[in-house]
Amino acid sequence: GQQVMQIPQYQHVQEGEDFTTYCNSSTTLSNIQWYKQRPGGHPVFLIQLVKSGEVKKQKRLTFQFGEAKKNSSLHITATQTTDVGTYFCAGPTGGGGSQGNLIFGKGTKLSVKP
């Protein structure tokens, strides 16, 4: 079945270093969503990418959607302790732009050392 894989599983960085997590789907996605879960918290929606090659920025966070719409990345510039948490990508199983059921990657857990 369809799979969404994320790497790395864990990432430990020094505050101020950059961080990147990668998401790869076994099938073409109509869109991809990114969520952040703080320790002990619940997932919170960050952004959605829809177009091939799309790049979106939110302050120090840069999200990219691959040209083939099968992969995506999240890059954080100059990490801060507030960036700590697990970052999940998720893609719909349905084709043709429908939501379908979201398949979540297993997440990348980011820790930041002050």
Partner 1 sequence: NAGVTQTPKFQVLKTGQSMTLQCAQDMNHNSMYWYRQDPGMGLRLIYYSASEGTTDKGEVPNGYNVSRLNKREFSLRLESAAPSQTSVYFCASSRTYRDSYSPLHFGNGTRLTVT
Closer by beta carbon to partner 1, 39 or else 114: 39
Give the start-end residues of each E strand in 4-84: 4-7, 10-14, 19-25, 32-37, 43-49, 55-58, 61-65, 71-76
98 near partner 1, rule: CB under 8 A: yes
Choose the stretch contacting partner 1; rule: CB under 8 A; options: 13-21, 54-62, 74-82, 84-92. Answer: 84-92
CB neighbourhood size of 83 (10 A): 19
Residue 59 binding partner 1, by CB under 8 A: no
Q: In this chain, which stretch among 14-22, 45-53, 63-71, 74-82 interacts with partner 1, using CB under 8 A? A: 45-53
